[in-house]
Amino acid sequence: MKLLIYLLLTAALATAASADLSQYPFTFLDEGNFTGQIIVGYSAPSLDAVVATELALSLQQKANVQITAYTDELFDPNLDAIIIGQPCLNTALAEILETNACNIGLSPGEGLIKFVERHGFQYIIVTGASKEDTRKAGRYLAEHERGLMGSEARIGGTLDNPVIIDAPPLAIKKVKVECETDSDCRDDQSCVATNCLDLNCVPGTAAKSHECMESNETAPAKALTPQDVKAVVKDTVQDKKIVEPKIGFFERLIGIILSVFQ
């Protein structure tokens, strides 16, 4: 009995240890059913959607159902997933890689296909130094799915001829994800790509409720100094002109008549 338990545990550990890119695409397929999800960023460039479409069509050849991609607000971390794009434009990717940097350390022209296991779920990351490099990595995954090994593959070459390049494992710098919505930030800040950024409102506006709004406040009156008071009085006296009232002929005549009866 102990021997049987030992063998079962050994087999389970061996299976877990072998989980990497070499298991793709069967990680996401169970008797022809697609058991995962394809995720792109809501604000991602259109090329990321092209990658998602190419991967969905590639997987669909082995599945019995139509496969659809979803945007990151619908990401379920409790499902295996293929996540496409850059962390700054895909909140699901930022969550899994624990960074919201646009470029996670790749050189220009490099794409990356990376296997990540987290809390018992498996994710395939497709990203790049640019949106074009992300598409190049996606093209390689769609066309060479059975040629991958290990936990990651750096992709170089061209879109028409993507190739794996020899490179050391990528050290991804972890960057704290500060926010998901404006409500996670101070009142005078806004949430931009999971960062709380100061609004820096222009003169005449003030930060309120995470927006720059027109300010109704007026500047407080400046207190006058004794020198200011003297200057104002002096200017007033110099500018003042005494105007004698003009009296017409009839007014003078009435005045003379009234004086006779006094």
Which residue ranges form the domains of the chain, and what is each CATH number? 18-164 (3.30.379.10), 182-214 (no CATH)
Average pLDDT in the 162-189 region?
81
Average pLDDT, the chain: 79
Question: Does pTM surpass 0.75?
Answer: no
Whether the per-residue pLDDT at 221 is higher than 70: the answer is no
Determine the Cα–Cα distance for residues 125 and 253; give it in Å rounded to an integer: 107
Strand segments (E) across 31-149: 33-34, 37-40, 69-71, 81-84, 111-118, 121-128
Q: Token match 């607000």: residue? A: 73
User: What's the residue count for the chain?
Assistant: 262
Among candidates 170, 203, 202, 201, which has minimal Cα distance to 188? 201
Mean pLDDT (whole number) for 231-256: 52
Q: What is the dihedral of CA 229, 234, 236, 240, to 10 degrees?
A: 160
Q: How does pLDDT run across 60-81, given as a tens digit for each residue?
A: 888 878 898 999 999 998 999 9
